[in-house]
């Protein structure tokens, strides 16, 4: 099991998805700083509509799923199973 390819695919899909969502958004960001610290607020409004939303959301979800798969593959690759030799096989020339 090769976790590097899953990780690369996850990074590409996450970048594509978030790029589509934030690239086609119409929104605002606001920060209010007031004297009582409890009244300070950070307001983020992101509105993405249409095909970029659907494609961005789908690729982001697939990227997150691939990231979890890569994590599981990396964990499994670190475990030494009983009966498995610790030496790696040297390819024949």
- Cβ atoms 57, 36 nearer than 8 A: no
pTM score over 0.75: no
Per-position b or e across 62-77, b if 16+ CB within 10 A of its CB: bbeebbebbeebeeee
Rounded Cα distance, 18 and 46, in Å:
12
* Predicted confidence (pLDDT) at residue 89 exceeds the cutoff of 60: no
Q: Compute the mean pLDDT over every residue in the chain, rounded to the nearest whole number.
A: 87
Distance (Å, whole) CA 88 – CA 13: 33
Helices 51-78/3-23 angle, 10° precision: 160
Report pLDDT digits (tens) over 19-70: 999 999 998 889 888 888 888 998 989 899 999 999 999 999 999 999 999 9
């Amino acid at each position: 099991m090769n976790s590097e390819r899953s990780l690369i695919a996850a990074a590409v899909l996450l970048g594509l998805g978030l790029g589509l969502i934030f690239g086609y958004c119409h929104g605002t960001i606001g920060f209010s700083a007031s004297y009582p610290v409890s009244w300070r607020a950070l307001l983020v409004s992101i509105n993405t509509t249409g095909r970029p939303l659907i494609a961005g959301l789908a690729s982001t979800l697939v990227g997150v799923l691939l990231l979890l798969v890569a994590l599981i593959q990396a964990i499994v690759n670190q475990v030494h199973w009983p009966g498995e030799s610790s030496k790696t096989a040297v390819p024949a020339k």
